[in-house]
Protein backbone atom coordinates (compact mmCIF):
# COMPACT_ATOMS: atom_id res chain seq x y z
CA UNK A 1 0.00 0.00 0.00
CA UNK A 2 1.26 3.46 -0.94
CA UNK A 3 1.26 5.71 2.10
CA UNK A 4 1.32 9.50 2.00
CA UNK A 5 3.90 11.00 4.36
CA UNK A 6 2.25 13.90 6.13
CA UNK A 7 2.90 16.51 8.82
CA UNK A 8 -0.07 18.29 10.39
CA UNK A 9 0.11 21.82 11.77
CA UNK A 10 -2.82 22.39 14.14
CA UNK A 11 -4.57 24.65 16.64
CA UNK A 12 -6.65 21.85 18.21
CA UNK A 13 -9.59 22.83 18.18
CA UNK A 14 -12.60 20.50 17.91
CA UNK A 15 -12.40 20.06 14.16
CA UNK A 16 -8.59 19.82 14.25
CA UNK A 17 -9.17 16.87 16.59
CA UNK A 18 -11.45 15.28 13.95
CA UNK A 19 -8.56 15.66 11.49
CA UNK A 20 -5.87 14.39 13.87
CA UNK A 21 -7.93 11.28 14.68
CA UNK A 22 -8.38 10.60 10.97
CA UNK A 23 -4.72 11.12 10.07
CA UNK A 24 -3.55 8.94 12.95
CA UNK A 25 -5.96 6.12 12.09
CA UNK A 26 -6.06 6.03 8.30
CA UNK A 27 -3.87 3.21 6.91
CA UNK A 28 -2.81 5.23 3.84
CA UNK A 29 -1.38 8.09 5.91
CA UNK A 30 2.07 8.01 7.47
CA UNK A 31 1.72 10.72 10.09
CA UNK A 32 5.31 11.86 10.67
CA UNK A 33 4.57 14.48 13.30
CA UNK A 34 2.37 17.35 14.44
CA UNK A 35 3.30 20.97 15.06
CA UNK A 36 1.12 23.21 17.22
CA UNK A 37 0.38 26.90 16.89
CA UNK A 38 -1.58 29.66 18.58
CA UNK A 39 -5.02 29.94 16.95
CA UNK A 40 -8.31 28.59 18.30
CA UNK A 41 -6.72 28.80 21.75
CA UNK A 42 -3.27 29.41 23.25
CA UNK A 43 -0.45 27.17 22.03
CA UNK A 44 0.07 25.31 25.33
CA UNK A 45 -3.58 24.35 25.40
CA UNK A 46 -3.30 23.34 21.72
CA UNK A 47 -0.43 21.00 22.64
CA UNK A 48 -2.40 19.49 25.55
CA UNK A 49 -5.47 18.96 23.31
CA UNK A 50 -3.39 17.39 20.55
CA UNK A 51 -1.73 14.92 22.93
CA UNK A 52 -5.12 13.89 24.33
CA UNK A 53 -6.43 13.36 20.81
CA UNK A 54 -3.50 11.07 19.99
CA UNK A 55 -4.36 9.10 23.15
CA UNK A 56 -7.93 8.69 21.95
CA UNK A 57 -6.63 7.50 18.58
CA UNK A 58 -4.39 4.96 20.33
CA UNK A 59 -1.59 6.41 18.20
CA UNK A 60 2.02 5.34 18.46
CA UNK A 61 4.88 7.65 19.25
CA UNK A 62 4.12 10.62 17.00
CA UNK A 63 6.26 13.68 17.81
CA UNK A 64 4.28 16.79 18.78
CA UNK A 65 6.10 20.12 18.96
CA UNK A 66 5.15 23.53 20.33
CA UNK A 67 5.27 26.40 17.87
CA UNK A 68 4.46 30.10 17.73
CA UNK A 69 2.62 31.62 20.69
CA UNK A 70 1.26 34.57 18.71
CA UNK A 71 0.92 35.81 15.13
CA UNK A 72 3.85 37.53 13.37
CA UNK A 73 2.13 40.89 13.82
CA UNK A 74 -0.88 41.87 15.89
CA UNK A 75 -2.31 40.01 18.83
CA UNK A 76 -3.79 36.57 19.40
CA UNK A 77 -7.52 36.35 18.80
CA UNK A 78 -8.98 33.09 20.06
CA UNK A 79 -12.14 31.24 19.02
CA UNK A 80 -13.09 29.80 22.41
CA UNK A 81 -16.71 30.83 21.82
CA UNK A 82 -16.71 28.12 19.13
CA UNK A 83 -14.37 25.48 20.58
CA UNK A 84 -14.93 25.83 24.36
CA UNK A 85 -12.82 27.32 27.18
CA UNK A 86 -10.19 24.58 26.74
CA UNK A 87 -10.40 24.88 22.95
CA UNK A 88 -11.64 21.31 22.59
CA UNK A 89 -15.22 21.01 23.76
CA UNK A 90 -14.58 21.17 27.56
CA UNK A 91 -14.87 17.38 27.89
CA UNK A 92 -12.98 17.34 31.20
CA UNK A 93 -10.49 14.72 30.02
CA UNK A 94 -7.43 13.87 32.13
CA UNK A 95 -4.14 15.29 30.82
CA UNK A 96 -2.16 13.01 28.52
CA UNK A 97 0.97 11.26 29.78
CA UNK A 98 2.63 11.72 26.39
CA UNK A 99 5.69 13.97 26.36
CA UNK A 100 5.94 16.99 24.13
CA UNK A 101 8.88 16.85 21.70
CA UNK A 102 11.75 19.04 23.00
CA UNK A 103 12.29 20.62 19.57
CA UNK A 104 10.49 23.76 18.43
CA UNK A 105 7.92 23.40 15.64
CA UNK A 106 10.31 24.72 12.98
CA UNK A 107 13.06 22.34 14.10
CA UNK A 108 10.72 19.38 14.06
CA UNK A 109 9.54 20.32 10.55
CA UNK A 110 13.16 20.55 9.40
CA UNK A 111 14.15 17.19 10.89
CA UNK A 112 11.10 15.29 9.67
CA UNK A 113 11.44 16.62 6.11
CA UNK A 114 15.20 16.01 5.99
CA UNK A 115 14.85 12.48 7.39
CA UNK A 116 11.96 11.39 5.18
CA UNK A 117 12.75 9.14 2.24
CA UNK A 118 9.33 9.94 0.74
CA UNK A 119 8.00 13.32 -0.38
CA UNK A 120 6.34 15.12 2.52
CA UNK A 121 2.98 16.89 2.34
CA UNK A 122 2.36 19.57 4.98
CA UNK A 123 -1.26 20.03 6.01
CA UNK A 124 -1.76 23.22 8.03
CA UNK A 125 -5.16 23.40 9.72
CA UNK A 126 -4.47 26.59 11.61
CA UNK A 127 -2.98 30.07 11.27
CA UNK A 128 0.16 29.82 9.13
CA UNK A 129 2.65 31.33 11.62
CA UNK A 130 4.71 28.14 12.09
CA UNK A 131 4.87 27.42 8.38
CA UNK A 132 5.94 30.97 7.48
CA UNK A 133 8.66 30.88 10.15
CA UNK A 134 9.85 27.51 8.90
CA UNK A 135 10.06 28.79 5.29
CA UNK A 136 12.16 31.74 6.47
CA UNK A 137 14.42 29.86 8.91
CA UNK A 138 15.09 26.75 6.79
CA UNK A 139 14.66 27.76 3.13
CA UNK A 140 16.85 24.92 1.83
CA UNK A 141 14.75 22.27 3.59
CA UNK A 142 11.59 24.10 2.51
CA UNK A 143 12.52 23.39 -1.12
CA UNK A 144 12.01 19.68 -0.36
CA UNK A 145 8.34 20.08 0.66
CA UNK A 146 6.24 18.12 -1.81
CA UNK A 147 3.14 20.31 -1.40
CA UNK A 148 1.07 22.23 1.14
CA UNK A 149 -2.64 21.46 1.44
CA UNK A 150 -4.07 23.97 3.88
CA UNK A 151 -7.38 24.67 5.52
CA UNK A 152 -7.80 28.38 5.18
CA UNK A 153 -9.13 31.18 3.06
CA UNK A 154 -12.16 31.47 0.86
CA UNK A 155 -12.99 32.23 -2.74
CA UNK A 156 -16.38 33.44 -1.50
CA UNK A 157 -17.34 34.85 1.93
CA UNK A 158 -15.41 34.92 5.21
CA UNK A 159 -16.25 33.74 8.73
CA UNK A 160 -14.02 35.67 11.17
CA UNK A 161 -15.01 38.80 9.24
CA UNK A 162 -17.25 39.36 6.23
CA UNK A 163 -14.17 39.06 4.03
CA UNK A 164 -11.72 36.79 5.85
CA UNK A 165 -11.51 33.19 7.01
CA UNK A 166 -10.24 32.69 10.60
CA UNK A 167 -6.87 30.98 9.93
CA UNK A 168 -5.78 33.55 7.37
CA UNK A 169 -7.26 36.49 9.31
CA UNK A 170 -5.41 35.44 12.48
CA UNK A 171 -2.03 35.89 10.77
CA UNK A 172 -2.32 37.40 7.27
CA UNK A 173 1.41 38.21 7.00
CA UNK A 174 2.28 34.56 7.63
CA UNK A 175 -0.30 33.49 5.05
CA UNK A 176 1.17 35.90 2.48
CA UNK A 177 4.64 34.40 3.04
CA UNK A 178 3.32 30.87 2.58
CA UNK A 179 1.24 31.69 -0.51
CA UNK A 180 4.19 33.44 -2.18
CA UNK A 181 6.70 30.72 -1.27
CA UNK A 182 6.60 28.87 -4.58
CA UNK A 183 5.65 25.61 -2.83
CA UNK A 184 2.61 24.07 -4.62
CA UNK A 185 -0.43 25.05 -2.56
CA UNK A 186 -3.97 23.73 -2.43
CA UNK A 187 -6.44 25.81 -0.48
CA UNK A 188 -9.29 23.94 1.23
CA UNK A 189 -11.32 26.92 2.35
CA UNK A 190 -14.80 28.05 3.32
CA UNK A 191 -16.18 27.23 -0.13
CA UNK A 192 -16.29 23.59 1.03
CA UNK A 193 -15.34 23.58 4.73
CA UNK A 194 -18.88 23.56 6.17
CA UNK A 195 -20.35 20.93 3.88
CA UNK A 196 -19.44 17.48 5.28
CA UNK A 197 -21.37 17.35 8.55
CA UNK A 198 -22.22 14.96 11.39
CA UNK A 199 -25.61 14.84 13.10
CA UNK A 200 -26.52 14.43 16.75
CA UNK A 201 -27.85 10.94 15.96
CA UNK A 202 -24.52 9.93 14.43
CA UNK A 203 -22.69 11.37 17.44
CA UNK A 204 -24.78 9.16 19.75
CA UNK A 205 -23.94 6.09 17.66
CA UNK A 206 -20.23 6.96 17.85
CA UNK A 207 -20.40 7.45 21.63
CA UNK A 208 -21.92 3.98 22.00
CA UNK A 209 -19.32 2.31 19.78
CA UNK A 210 -16.63 0.08 21.28
CA UNK A 211 -13.54 1.90 20.03
CA UNK A 212 -12.14 4.77 22.16
CA UNK A 213 -11.52 6.85 19.01
CA UNK A 214 -15.22 6.65 18.12
CA UNK A 215 -16.37 7.38 21.68
CA UNK A 216 -14.09 10.43 21.86
CA UNK A 217 -15.25 11.67 18.44
CA UNK A 218 -18.90 11.21 19.46
CA UNK A 219 -18.38 13.21 22.66
CA UNK A 220 -16.65 15.97 20.71
CA UNK A 221 -19.42 16.18 18.11
CA UNK A 222 -22.05 16.29 20.86
CA UNK A 223 -20.21 19.07 22.72
CA UNK A 224 -19.87 21.04 19.49
CA UNK A 225 -23.59 20.63 18.72
CA UNK A 226 -24.56 21.73 22.22
CA UNK A 227 -22.31 24.77 22.11
CA UNK A 228 -23.34 25.97 18.66
CA UNK A 229 -26.99 24.81 18.74
CA UNK A 230 -26.75 23.41 15.22
CA UNK A 231 -26.97 19.89 13.86
CA UNK A 232 -25.30 18.65 11.76
CA UNK A 233 -21.97 20.28 12.64
CA UNK A 234 -19.10 20.44 10.21
CA UNK A 235 -16.19 18.00 10.14
CA UNK A 236 -14.21 21.09 9.13
CA UNK A 237 -10.42 20.72 9.03
CA UNK A 238 -10.66 16.97 8.36
CA UNK A 239 -11.73 17.70 4.78
CA UNK A 240 -8.29 19.10 3.94
CA UNK A 241 -6.62 15.86 5.08
CA UNK A 242 -9.13 13.77 3.14
CA UNK A 243 -8.44 15.76 -0.03
CA UNK A 244 -4.77 14.71 0.09
CA UNK A 245 -5.45 10.98 -0.01
CA UNK A 246 -8.73 11.01 -1.96
CA UNK A 247 -8.37 13.79 -4.55
CA UNK A 248 -10.98 12.10 -6.77
CA UNK A 249 -13.67 13.19 -4.27
CA UNK A 250 -12.83 16.89 -4.68
CA UNK A 251 -13.07 19.45 -7.49
CA UNK A 252 -10.36 22.09 -7.69
CA UNK A 253 -9.44 24.98 -9.95
CA UNK A 254 -6.32 27.12 -10.28
CA UNK A 255 -6.62 30.83 -9.50
CA UNK A 256 -4.33 33.77 -8.95
CA UNK A 257 -4.65 34.45 -5.23
CA UNK A 258 -3.49 37.33 -3.05
CA UNK A 259 -3.73 37.59 0.73
CA UNK A 260 -4.88 41.04 1.83
CA UNK A 261 -2.46 42.28 4.52
CA UNK A 262 -3.85 45.81 4.71
CA UNK A 263 -5.39 46.95 8.01
CA UNK A 264 -8.77 47.71 6.44
CA UNK A 265 -12.01 45.71 6.41
CA UNK A 266 -10.61 43.12 3.97
CA UNK A 267 -7.59 42.20 6.14
CA UNK A 268 -6.99 38.46 5.82
CA UNK A 269 -9.14 38.03 2.71
CA UNK A 270 -7.82 35.61 0.08
CA UNK A 271 -8.65 37.48 -3.10
CA UNK A 272 -9.14 34.89 -5.85
CA UNK A 273 -9.20 36.12 -9.43
CA UNK A 274 -12.20 34.19 -10.77
CA UNK A 275 -12.83 36.41 -13.77
CA UNK A 276 -13.37 34.90 -17.21
CA UNK A 277 -10.23 34.49 -19.28
CA UNK A 278 -11.26 37.16 -21.78
CA UNK A 279 -11.76 39.72 -19.00
CA UNK A 280 -8.38 38.88 -17.50
CA UNK A 281 -6.80 39.52 -20.87
CA UNK A 282 -8.67 42.77 -21.23
CA UNK A 283 -7.72 43.92 -17.75
CA UNK A 284 -4.41 42.26 -16.86
CA UNK A 285 -4.05 41.26 -13.27
CA UNK A 286 -3.77 44.20 -10.94
CA UNK A 287 -3.07 41.98 -7.95
CA UNK A 288 0.47 42.48 -6.72
CA UNK A 289 2.35 39.29 -5.75
CA UNK A 290 -0.45 36.94 -6.80
CA UNK A 291 0.32 33.24 -6.34
CA UNK A 292 -1.04 30.41 -8.46
CA UNK A 293 -3.11 28.41 -5.98
CA UNK A 294 -5.28 25.34 -6.49
CA UNK A 295 -8.60 26.10 -4.78
CA UNK A 296 -11.08 23.40 -3.72
CA UNK A 297 -14.56 24.35 -4.93
CA UNK A 298 -16.67 21.22 -4.60
CA UNK A 299 -16.66 17.74 -3.05
CA UNK A 300 -18.63 14.52 -2.81
CA UNK A 301 -20.11 15.26 0.61
CA UNK A 302 -21.51 11.81 1.39
CA UNK A 303 -18.35 9.96 0.33
CA UNK A 304 -16.20 12.31 2.43
CA UNK A 305 -18.46 11.89 5.47
CA UNK A 306 -18.39 8.11 5.16
CA UNK A 307 -14.61 8.15 4.79
CA UNK A 308 -14.32 9.86 8.19
CA UNK A 309 -16.94 7.72 9.93
CA UNK A 310 -15.45 4.44 8.71
CA UNK A 311 -11.94 5.46 9.68
CA UNK A 312 -12.89 6.68 13.16
CA UNK A 313 -15.17 3.73 13.89
CA UNK A 314 -14.05 0.45 12.28
CA UNK A 315 -17.47 -1.05 12.96
CA UNK A 316 -19.39 1.72 11.16
CA UNK A 317 -21.82 0.48 8.49
C1 LIG B 1 -10.80 27.32 10.88
O2 LIG B 1 -10.71 28.07 12.07
C3 LIG B 1 -10.76 27.19 13.19
O4 LIG B 1 -11.74 27.59 14.11
C5 LIG B 1 -11.05 25.82 12.67
O6 LIG B 1 -10.32 24.87 13.44
C7 LIG B 1 -10.62 25.88 11.24
O8 LIG B 1 -9.26 25.54 11.09
C9 LIG B 1 -12.10 27.66 10.16
O10 LIG B 1 -12.14 29.01 9.82
CA1 LIG C 1 -8.02 24.51 12.95
Q: What CATH number does the domain containing 61 carry?
A: 3.90.245.10
pLDDT surpasses 70 at 174? yes
The C-alpha R_g of the chain, in whole angstroms, comes to 18
- Give distance in angstroms: CA of 126 to centre of ligand 1: 6
Report the 10 Å Cβ neighbour count for 42.
Answer: 17
How many structural domains comprise the chain? 1
* Within a domain: 317: no
- Give distance in angstroms: CA of 166 to centre of ligand 1: 6
Q: What DSSP string describes 263-294? A: SSTTTT-EEE----HHHHHHS----TT-EEEE
**Owning domain of residue 67:** 4-194+235-312
Q: At 181, is the pLDDT very low, low, confident or very high (cuts 50, 70, 90)?
A: very high
Q: Is the pTM of this model over 0.95?
A: yes
**pLDDT value at position 282?**
74
Bigger pLDDT: 9 or 88?
Answer: 9
pLDDT surpasses 90 at 81? no
pLDDT surpasses 90 at 99? yes
* Within a domain: 52: yes
* Within a domain: 188: yes
* Within a domain: 211: no
Cis status of the peptide bond prior to 189, with omega within 30 of 0: no
Q: At 9, is the pLDDT very low, low, confident or very high (cuts 50, 70, 90)?
A: very high
| Separation between Cα atoms, residue 279 and residue 126, nearest integer Å | 34
What's the average model confidence in pLDDT over 125-139? Answer: 98
- Give distance in angstroms: CA of 197 to centre of ligand 1: 15
What's the average model confidence in pLDDT over 18-22? Answer: 98
| Separation between Cα atoms, residue 117 and residue 5, nearest integer Å | 9
**Ligand 1 atom showing the smallest separation from residue 16 Cα:** 6
Q: Of 21-25, 183-187, 220-224, which gets the smallest average pLDDT? A: 220-224
**pLDDT value at position 284?**
62
Whether ligand 1 lies within 6 angstroms of the CB of 165 is answered as yes
Whether ligand 1 lies within 6 angstroms of the CB of 191 is answered as no
Whether ligand 1 lies within 6 angstroms of the CB of 255 is answered as no
Whether ligand 1 lies within 6 angstroms of the CB of 9 is answered as no
- Give distance in angstroms: CA of 240 to centre of ligand 1: 11
* Within a domain: 21: yes
What's the average model confidence in pLDDT over 41-64? Answer: 97
What's the average model confidence in pLDDT over 224-229? Answer: 91
pLDDT surpasses 90 at 279? no
In sequence order, the 6+-apart residues with CB closer than 8 A to the CB of 208 are 215, 218
Whether ligand 1 lies within 6 angstroms of the CB of 239 is answered as no
Whether ligand 1 lies within 6 angstroms of the CB of 79 is answered as yes
**pLDDT value at position 276?**
85
Amino acid sequence: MNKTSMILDVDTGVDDAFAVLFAALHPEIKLLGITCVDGNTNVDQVVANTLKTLDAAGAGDIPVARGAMRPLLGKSQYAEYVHGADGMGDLGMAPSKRKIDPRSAVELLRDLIEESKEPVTIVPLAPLTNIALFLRVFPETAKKIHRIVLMGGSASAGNATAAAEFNIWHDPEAAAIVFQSGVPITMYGLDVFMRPGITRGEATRLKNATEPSAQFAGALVEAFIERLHVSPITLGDFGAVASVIHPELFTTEMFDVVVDTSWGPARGQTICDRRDAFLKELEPLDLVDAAKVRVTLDLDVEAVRQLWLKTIDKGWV
